[in-house]
Amino acid sequence: MMLGKHTDLIARPRPRSHKWFRGEGWTALFFLLPGLIGIVLFLVLPILASIVLSFTNWQLLGSPRFVGISNYVRLFTTDPQFWTVLRNTLFFTVEYLVLNIIISLGLATWISSLKFGQRWFRVIFFLPTFTPLIAVAMVWMLIFTSGGLFDSLMASLSVPLAGVLNDRTLAMQAVVLTSIWAGVGYNTVLFNAALDMVPSTYLEAARIDGATAWDRFWKIRLPLISPTLFFGTVMTAITSLQVFDQIYVMTKGGPGSSTATLGYAIYQRGFQNFQMGYASAIAWVMFALIMALTALQFWFQRKWVHYDA
């Protein structure tokens, strides 16, 4: 009897969808609905809409007209700004990423070596992470503004540095510094937690075998936290490719276009110049760039990330 039923099923395979929505499938769907509706309405649809928009000349007012790939053609061939913006974004990402990882790893290692007050230092370095970035950037803008705290500090040290936000090269450095201050705490706590998870037996064994602190760091602790290091690197790279808040508050992309990044260019084209179609095209280029760089990092991780701890 039972067997007959089974063969019956095998003999007449039903469409897969039926199988999904039987019994618990419906229940699962029902419980997923609130999240699913939210994701479809506020994530999937806008993403699809922005693909469509990137092929139109929508100006926010009036109806959009289909223009094919001309937004993309203009972006890569005639827009005098695009390559500058792309270069700025990559420059910011590389500098910020390298500095952030080095500083946060250094801080994490230092904190984990402390005998007392580890918890306090973790809290102190984590504080900027839950401070709104706009507020942080406002304060740093006031510090760097001409005649501000930074200028008078430099003057009292007789360093000829003033008005950094009005300087083509230094403005970006001010933005990087602000970002580091705001962003280093997250990675510090992350790496610190990973370092504390390294089994002390490995380190003791190495010490008995005569490994120096330097060797223990490079050959034992770093390989053991490499999965966390990889996670931190990927996430930091993604957020720094999207940098916007600091630029918006501190420089508005200036002076000239020396700090204009992709994120800021999207805002400027879309919401200041009302070129929604063009802004959508830039957003998709940014998306492709982030995808490609993240894929590249995943490919590279085989060379340096060890999951066999």
Partner 1 sequence: MKRSLIFAAALAASALAGIDARAQDAPVTLTWQMWGQPNDAELWQQLADLVTEQYPDIRVKLQLSGWADYWTRLPVLAASGEIADIISMQSMRLPNFYSILAPLDDYVKGGDVKVADFETSIMSGLSQDGSLYALPYDVGPWMVFYNRDKFAAAGLKEPAKDWTFDDFKANAKALTKDGTYGYGTQAFDFIAGPVALGADYFNDDSEFDLTNAGFVGAFSKYADLTAQDKLSPVFASAADASAASGRFASGNVAMYIDGPWSLITGQANVNFKIGIAPLPRGSGPSRFITAGSGWGISATSQHKDAAFKALQVLTGPKAAEILGSAGRALPARLAQQTAWYDGAAKNVAGTRDTLEYMFAHTTPFRINDKWNQFENLVMQYVPLALTGDTKPDVVLSDIQSQLP
What token pair was written down for 196? 């504390």
Beta carbon of residue 240, minimum distance to partner 1 (angstroms, whole number): 20
Quick check: 60 binds partner 1 (CB under 8 A)?
yes
According to DSSP, the residues that pair with 61 across neighbouring strands are 59
DSSP assignment of 125-152 equals: HHGGGGS-HHHHHHHHHHHHSTTSHHHH
CB of 37 to partner 1, least distance (A): 20
Q: Is 274 in the site for partner 1 (CB under 8 A)?
A: yes
If binding is defined by CB under 8 A, does position 216 make contact with partner 1? no
* Ranges within 94-123 binding partner 1 (CB under 8 A): none
Q: State the nearest-atom distance from the C-beta of 170 to partner 1, in Å.
A: 11
Interatomic CA distance for residues 192 and 189, integer angstroms: 5
Q: State which residue, 113 or 273, has the beta carbon closest to partner 1.
A: 273
User: CA angle at residue 285 from 173 to 243, to 5 degrees?
Assistant: 30
| Nearest-approach distance from CB 274 to partner 1, in angstroms | 6
232/263 with CB nearer partner 1:
263
242 binds partner 1 (CB under 8 A): no
Please name the residues in contact with 251: beta carbons below 8 A apart, sequence gap of 6 or more.
Answer: 165, 171, 174, 175, 258, 259
- Which of 205, 273, 296, 304 is the binder for partner 1 (CB under 8 A)? 273
282's CB contacts (< 8 A; 6+ apart) are: 75, 82, 262, 265, 266, 269
> In the complex with partner 1, which residue's Cβ is closer, 97 or 165?
165
Q: Are 269 and 282 in contact (CB under 8 A)?
A: yes
Interaction of residue 239 with partner 1, rule CB under 8 A: no
Q: Is 257 in the site for partner 1 (CB under 8 A)?
A: yes
Q: Which of 71, 251, 261, 280 binds partner 1 (CB under 8 A)?
A: 251
> Which of 147, 204, 212, 309: binder of partner 1 (CB under 8 A)?
147
Residue with tokens 């089994």: 199
163 binds partner 1 (CB under 8 A): yes
| Residue 16 to residue 244: CA distance in whole angstroms | 45
Q: How far apart are CA 101 and CA 287, in angstroms?
A: 23
Which residues contribute to the site for partner 1 (CB under 8 A)? 60-62, 80-81, 141, 145-147, 163, 165-168, 248-257, 260, 268, 271-274
